[in-house]
Chains A and B, each alone.
Chain A
């Protein structure tokens, strides 16, 4: 009998037939998720390539990189990178990575694909809005990349685009012309795309859960996506108007961010009265939650992957959820730690440092719960679990450098040095990436019906784990020695002895970058020629592993929506078939770990 679910009305859409509807303008959240993943993949390749160019230049500043002049009409005469071109590459590297990789892959890609399935729904409630969110994000990417092809190239002001450099226009130098406007349009569009996405994520989590699926029974990945979308809702809604104000200052002669009496190239600038700190406040009010938007989905994915491979539940499901929620709430109170020496009231610096230190507590709770849950486990070692464990190691490494940066007095010596660059690369550039890798190896069989090659996966893990430590640990030493960031070359006397360290880092970076080709090859080869996968290769419990086919059918669960009987993560259960009980399994096992 057809069991109609009692949840909110779903915009039922029949399976598409045309190529355009199936693969291009698709309403299916699974296709949209894969499209986001594809976008992130293209973005990460571009972003990583830009970082190679940067690293080569930093190690060997006058080296003529073959073919470099093809990338820019005037940025690399004789294939030697100009100072402005370095800064342009740096700005694009950061913008692409933070927005189009770290916000897109763990959140938009995996979230779109798996959130509806993990709650037990056919699709998100607003498939047209969902489809728009991808295409708006895609358009944002095109605008950003377009800046390589305009006038004097992309903007060079860093992904932080501090005013007034970003607002005064081309007079500020090469890279401050149209490139800035394209950057601001791109990011403004990106914000809109993410808001549309968050709309769907929140309504899916709150309104589309199937019968028996209470909020506490949602897997940790679903909670992470939900919490992240709540953050995104508020954070992106602030960056978007900031970008509008920036564009207006740039093209319309307003003075939101540009004060009076600025003299550039001996010319008095026409602006007056604006506040440069206003941009910083608006930007970082977004910027700090943004970095938690980048890491929380990874925490959810890693928790999800880890539990499956530990064959026992986490010490406490709810404490992890509360802690991720605490991170989200606190993330709005700490943003001033990016501005300790910015010229804002020094008392404000002290005020911001306390919540920054306090936010260590939920982060520590999460790490301790992970570590504590490992105790007594029966850990399975595979590519997915290795990256999940690697995430823990990297998150600890990146997190402890935060202790320093959270204190204004210590920040005096470390602000704007490589210490900061090391800190955020460890947590974002490595840990968050490891979350993406863990999710990929884990969910690939479900998404594509084939398994990835385990041997290649392990090789990828080992070389990347050691390689990323080799790259980013030394950044902290450079920072302690006073190596300032965003320099295209090191001309100060006291930094000369640090250049060999940079050369070491460059070699490690090029090596580790090359290793990612193994992952790419594995991904593409397995997609078409991998071993067929079963419906539940990991013997996992959550709803995505109970779909009738693999990959899931168009409406995810076929004729009948599932019904949920258990908390997630019923592993290590005795008396059940195997050592686990799936959420949809009606069998009542007295040794199950269901909480009330």
Chain B
């Protein structure tokens, strides 16, 4: 057999699964053994997708944060806006919704499988989460009305501009999360809900919670 100019590595049948693989155990030679002895693991796409989405959303709010900081330092017209009290109530509502969602997830897990606890009412908890989410959005709108009654509109001063902008951007993403939750509830009621869907939606929702706490701090802090 002719040889190549250099001696390449030979495929070694007896070599175990190599390390340094990137994708969860796929760098395997089938070798002489059965393929079924190879355990493949792939992260569910929904899980990866949510992390990707959250990374992107984080970048957007990071950009807005840097815009806020630069704008604050650019001129002397920064007038601190006292946050309407309802914002704190809304925050509590949002945190509560994260709690009810976590409970709901546990109930969902308890309601399927061989040891199903048929007393669990996961649908109730999920619906409560949805309702709390809607309440949050409504509360944000009330906050806007309160600001308007104080004469603070979008263009009144740079701080008010950022207030409306950041709360609106966040609320828009929350509404997206509400859509995701509604989808989860619909699928659960039709018994076609996958764990990965529920997990991904829940992760998104909790992120909205954490993001809101960050934005609240940003707007509250006398930077």
Contact yes or no, A273 B75, CB < 8 A: yes
Residues A253-285 near B (CB distance < 8 A):
253-256, 259-260, 272-275, 277-278, 281-282, 285
Q: How far is the CB of A340 from chain B (nearest CB, A)?
A: 19
Q: How far is the CB of A194 from chain B (nearest CB, A)?
A: 10
Interface string of B8-50 (1 = CB under 8 A from A): 1111000000101111001111100001001011111110110
Q: In the complex, A236 Cα to B52 Cα: how many Å? A: 13
Cβ of B83 under 8 Å from chain A: no
Cβ of B70 under 8 Å from chain A: yes
- Least CB separation from A3: chain B residue: B35
Q: How far is the CB of B135 from chain A (nearest CB, A)?
A: 26
Cβ of B223 under 8 Å from chain A: no
Contact yes or no, B75 A209, CB < 8 A: no
Contact among B38, B62, B75 for A272, CB-based, below 8 A: B75
Cβ of A107 under 8 Å from chain B: no
Contact yes or no, B42 A215, CB < 8 A: no
Contact yes or no, B3 A591, CB < 8 A: yes
Residues A568-592 near B (CB distance < 8 A):
572-575, 586, 588, 590-592
Contact yes or no, A211 B23, CB < 8 A: no
Cβ of A454 under 8 Å from chain B: no
User: Which residues on the B side are within 8 Å of A202 (C-beta)?
Assistant: 48-49, 52
User: Which residues on the A side are within 8 Å of B38 (C-beta)?
Assistant: 211
For chain B, which range describes its interface: under 10, 10 to 19, 20 to 34, or 35 or more residues?
35 or more
Cβ of B2 under 8 Å from chain A: yes
Contact yes or no, B22 A216, CB < 8 A: yes
**Stretch in contact with the other chain, from B53-61, B96-104, B143-151, B204-212:** B53-61
Residues A362-415 near B (CB distance < 8 A):
none
User: Which residues on the A side are within 8 Å of B161 (C-beta)?
Assistant: 248, 254-256
Contact yes or no, B77 A282, CB < 8 A: no
- Least CB separation from A245: chain B residue: B67
Contact yes or no, B71 A207, CB < 8 A: no
Contact among B40, B74, B154 for A248, CB-based, below 8 A: B154
A211-B35, A215-B22 are known contacts. Are A595 and B42 too (CB-CB below 8 A)? no
User: Which residues on the A side are within 8 Å of B3 (C-beta)?
Assistant: 574, 591
A209-B23, A260-B75, A278-B71 are known contacts. Are A238 and B48 too (CB-CB below 8 A)? no
Contact yes or no, B23 A592, CB < 8 A: no
Contact yes or no, B56 A565, CB < 8 A: no
Contact among B9, B23, B49 for A595, CB-based, below 8 A: B9
Contact yes or no, B9 A214, CB < 8 A: no
Q: How far is the CB of A258 from chain B (nearest CB, A)?
A: 11
Q: In the complex, A203 Cα to B51 Cα: how many Å? A: 10
Contact yes or no, B49 A234, CB < 8 A: no
Contact yes or no, A252 B155, CB < 8 A: yes
Q: How far is the CB of A169 from chain B (nearest CB, A)?
A: 13
Cβ of A478 under 8 Å from chain B: no
- Least CB separation from A124: chain B residue: B45
Contact yes or no, B52 A199, CB < 8 A: yes
Q: In the complex, A238 Cα to B64 Cα: how many Å? A: 8
Q: How far is the CB of A260 from chain B (nearest CB, A)?
A: 7
Q: Across chains A and B, which 7 residue pairs bring their CB atoms closest together, nearest first?
A: A215-B22, A273-B75, A214-B27, A125-B45, A237-B59, A6-B40, A253-B155
Footprint of A on B, CB under 8 Å? 1-4, 8-11, 18, 20-23, 26-30, 35, 38, 40-46, 48-49, 52-53, 55-57, 59-60, 62-64, 66-67, 70-71, 74-78, 154-155, 158, 161, 165, 169, 194, 196
* 10 A–B contacts, CB within 8 A, in A order: A9-B194, A198-B52, A202-B49, A214-B26, A215-B22, A233-B56, A233-B59, A241-B60, A245-B165, A575-B1
What 10 new A-B contacts, CB under 8 Å, besides A204-B45, A591-B4?
A8-B45, A9-B45, A125-B49, A198-B56, A199-B49, A214-B26, A237-B59, A238-B62, A256-B67, A594-B8
